Amino acid sequence: MAELSGRVALVTGGGRGIGRAVALSLAAAGADVAVAARSDKELAETVEAIRLTGRRGEAVRCDVGDRQQVDAMVARVRKALGDPLILVNNAGVAASAKLTETTDEMWDGMLRINATGAFYCTRAILPLMRQARWGRVVSIASVASKVGGPYLAAYAASKHALLGLTRAVAAEVASQGITVNAVCPGYVDTAMTDASTANISAKTGRSPQEARAVLEHFSPQGRLMTAAEVAALTTFLCSGAAEGINGQGLVLDGGAVQS
């Protein structure tokens, strides 16, 4: 994995969970890593962990749904670390509701962060990749980018949009040394999934353990995926060994969604 030495990566939503795991995995592979999120404390902790690997790290507070903040983030990363030719669009939000109870604010917020935020970040960095004739974009989508589900209208729509963006940009840059892919996990053992478990428990009266089992059983393996697994796949997609993988949405869910 030392092949990422000399590369600069930017991971959005990098303060915790999957984003933190991805940032540390890329650093272990030799990259200098900037992390962006809206929590200063979590960002500082992630950057400290990056630096303990011997790599450079930079924390940037950013709401990826705000184009001006995204442009400022990219400028700061370039000044601090160099051109970020690896971009991991990980920032995301999740919520569930019946369609008739999905508010305008929920719909707009989900699309703004999960899809428009990735669009802003990718558009801002793509010229740098084109100039270098090398780049890697990996977006953390979801199995909800492949299939629908009850109470997930806004979330599934936003993740379908993210996968569509991935495929379109991949086709656009395929001949330019740049690959664009998505990782599509099922339920991952993170704080976000803990919130889903609490929601199931509150609405159904199940115990937290029973609610967690509901999510585990979405996978034929009977378990939640791990942030480390998502990070390992993401890092592989950024490597030279994955040069021929482009425009793909790789599912990581133990075999439930086979597409």
Do residues 9 and 22 make contact, with C-beta atoms less than 8 angstroms apart? no
Q: Choosing from 120, 151, 155, 187, which is the catalytic residue?
A: 155
The angle at the Cα of 96, spanning 209 to 14, to the nearest 5 degrees, equals: 80
DSSP labels, 98-163:
-GGG--HHHHHHHHIIIIIHHHHHHHHHHHHHHHHT-EEEEEE--GGGTS--TTBHHHHHHHHHHH
Q: Which of 182, 168, 175 is nearest to 137 (CA)?
A: 182
**Gap between the Cα atoms of 217 and 177, Å rounded:** 40
How far from 184 is each of 1, 18, 25, 147, CA to CA, in Å? 22, 12, 18, 11
Q: Which of 138, 159, 115 is nearest to 247 (CA)?
A: 138
Active site residue 155: yes
Catalytic residues: 155
